[in-house]
Amino acid sequence: MDQQVTLGAFTRNIAERMAQLANNKNVVAQVRDNFPSPYTLSDAHYWIDFCNARQNGERFHRAIYYNEEFVGGIGVLRQDDIHRNNAEIGYWLGEPYWGLNIATAAVMQMTDWVFANTTITRLFAGVFETNPASMRVLEKAGYKLEAIHRKAIIKNDWVLDEHLFVKLAGE
């Protein structure tokens, strides 16, 4: 599994594939509203440029590759002030690649890299109640359900619970 899944840079040559995979209502239904929909080639170019300009110790973005083909993205956003040792991890995967353990492998790789290369000691992810597959990804990657924030988010006019998963360095 892991040898087929690698994390790498967002590069211009994946923009068209990124736009194809990201422009999917089933992907968009499980991510934040700032994820463009429809997702255009222009959005892909913007994201690639943003990622390459912003690797500054606060944000870490990687493209997910499966058998050397672009299939999704993963990122970590460090929190600030008294929460500066915490970071949020988020990811998305093109629908044709769901159910292949790719997301689990990517989360494990990114988690290991963050804990080995930064001062971040706590990673967390918020998952919509409508996304049990993502909850399973995090559980398989060693994250634990820490809280359920009841009716904390709004997505597509639905008020939903957010399940908060956490992994601490050294666990």
- Closest Cα partner for 93 from 68, 66, 118? 66
CB 105 within 8 A of CB 71: no
pLDDT at 110 over 60: yes
For the chain, which domains are there?
2-168 (3.40.630.30)
pLDDT at 25 over 90: yes
Residue 117: count other Cβ atoms within 10 Å of its Cβ.
9
* Predicted local confidence at residue 1, as pLDDT: 44
Say what the pTM is. 0.94
121-162 residue pLDDT tens: 999 999 999 999 999 999 999 999 999 999 999 999 999 999
Contacts of 145 (CB under 8 A, 6+ apart): 135, 139, 163, 164, 165
CB 44 within 8 A of CB 21: no
pLDDT at 58 over 90: no
Q: What angle do CA 83, 84, 86 make, to 5 degrees?
A: 70
From the CA atom positions of the chain, what is the Rg in Å? 15
| Residue position matching structure tokens 């809280």 | 147
72-104 residue pLDDT tens: 999 999 999 999 999 999 999 999 999 999 999
pLDDT at 23 over 50: yes
Contacts of 24 (CB under 8 A, 6+ apart): 39, 94, 95
* Predicted local confidence at residue 55, as pLDDT: 59
Q: What is the mean pLDDT of the chain?
A: 94
Q: How far is CA 104 from CA 36, 63, 136, in A?
A: 24, 14, 9
Distance between CA atoms of residues 80 and 58, nearest Å = 9
